[in-house]
Structure 1
Amino acid sequence: MARQLDYHTIREIFARFQQAEPEPEGELEHVNVYTLVVAVALSAQSTDAGVNKATRELFKIADTPQKMLDLGLEGLIDHIKTIGLYRQKAKNVIKLSQILVDDYDGEVPNSRAALQSLPGVGRKTANVVLNMWWGQPAQAVDTHIFRVGNRTGIAPGKTVDAVERAIEDNIPADFQRHAHHWLILHGRYHCKARKPLCRTCIIRDLCQYEDKTE
């Protein structure tokens, strides 16, 4: 684990991220907040590309909780069976859709507690939805963010919760809105798990990672 970077270094890192990508966006395709919830729930232990491939046709016919219920469990499975753990995920999507219809008039709630009460929606999923749809500075820590936070010293921590707290505590407020997208994209395309692209990294000189590749 790298040592914690100081405030001014972290500000410089995110200024560079912002300059390179002023308005970073998540890569999960969706048409409204409900389909965003479904897409994020389906993405657990799966790639965004794989989820997008499965949901493009699905969301054309089931973009509301009621339409998903009308499609039914087996109909949903037919669309997402290329995704890992598809059967359990399908059950969760049907259950959460029923709850949204019964308890929320078919609308997706905008509180973390309410979102986390839905089947298949954990803290990370809730944070993604709060950030991407409602613009809240919620930090969804996935494997990419956990790796980048610890390698660089931006947000070191031994657990996902510790890294989430470090991001909230250490990243300047004006960068909080897009912080998790910048970190995800950096981890996905540059600070890769096995062979990080340190030679072309825009924060190489500021990063605390000891095993930089040449």
Structure 2
Amino acid sequence: MTPNPSPVRTPTPSGRKRNPQLDGLLLDAALDILADIGPTALTMDLVASRAGAGKATIYRRWSSKAELITEALAHFRSTQVDLGALPDTGTLRDDLLSLFRPQSPDEAERRMRIMTGLASLLTHEQAFAADVHTAVVQPWAQAHLALMQRAQVRGEISATADLLTLSQVVPAMAAYRSLIQRQPFDLAFLEPLVDGVLLPALRP
């Protein structure tokens, strides 16, 4: 995975003013359908039906299925981590672990289905590989980089550590676990990775 993937392309269709709330409903519907039946069977009509909207509502926003999926991935990315409200516990280890947010069983199940749908997308639509990487890995890598830079300023980790590379270790492993192994990303997976791999690589 490259350290600086291209940003997710967000279409800017013309027409009447967009309704962010309706946009969110439509994009959530697209993600749910992607999770349920995969990208090949996903259609604009199915998304409209799932969201309880008219077909014209869909086509005013996205001229093609590719545009819709691209923006759905951008929407998924926006739900991953809040870069403006990162934890600040005083230690890098606790900051990294605090990024993990426990989910309800329903939330965890939906996320796993979405990740399975994204894995299917990679299998059938290689053109979306960079967008999937940007949606799944990049937000967490950016968060880890910010936390590591803060720890470096505190003198907690090596001043010469390759933060750009190491900030991608946990996000990339989490993506592999979810997309390839189809296993949940949980604290039992995260703690050994932070303690046994990441922190030893960061310390002098």
TM-score (norm 2): 0.30
Q: Which has the higher contact order (CA 8 A, sep 6+)?
A: 2
